[in-house]
Amino acid sequence: MGRDIDYGNLMHDAMRGLIRKVLLDVADRGLPGNHHFFITFDTAHPDAELADWLSDRYPGEMTVVMQHWYDKLEVTEDGFSVTLNFGDAPEPLYIPYDAIRTFVDPSVEFGLRFEQQDMTADDEKDEATPETKLAKAKESQDEDAPAKAADIVSLDAFRK
């Protein structure tokens, strides 16, 4: 068989591009109106940079808020750096886009969630072909359960 179109990764790349564009605009012109962001990211990501005390306190993930006070927002192709205030202690952070798990702007009910795919090397080998994927899906499907639909990303829940 030929190659498959990896819609999941293509969608994630597009969503990360959207975050990058939003942050570039904020870096240039500031946060407009009541906009603010809740950004949850993987603190154990190899390229994430944060103070030791923050990574000790949040060993898996943490959510930061960009709203009233932030400083030194710099946006790159791979991530962004920003200084945020943690209990009157300014701390610089670097967050790679691929470490982001959720990005939410509650002022306009907009949010993005990045699904995590935790696969072992054996799982990846087993999932190598479309035929294997189909066979595994059929094996795991309950006889009485309806067929599982494709994962669809809907932004309707975040619209006013």
Domain boundaries, the chain: 7-158
Its pTM stands at 0.70
What is the percent of the chain where pLDDT is above 70?
72
Looking at domain 7-158, which of 1.10.1740.10, 3.20.20.100, 2.30.30.830, 2.30.30.220 is its CATH number?
2.30.30.220
One digit per residue, the tens of pLDDT, for the chain of length 160 reads 678 899 988 999 999 999 999 999 999 999 999 999 999 999 999 999 999 999 999 999 999 999 988 999 999 999 999 999 988 889 999 999 999 999 999 999 999 998 876 544 444 444 444 433 333 443 444 444 444 444 444 455 555 5
Buried b (16+ CB within 10 A) or exposed e, 114-134: beeeeeeeeeeeeeeeeeeee
Do 35 and 107 meet the contact criterion of CB atoms below 8 Å apart? yes
Q: Hey, what are 120's tokens?
A: 């072992």
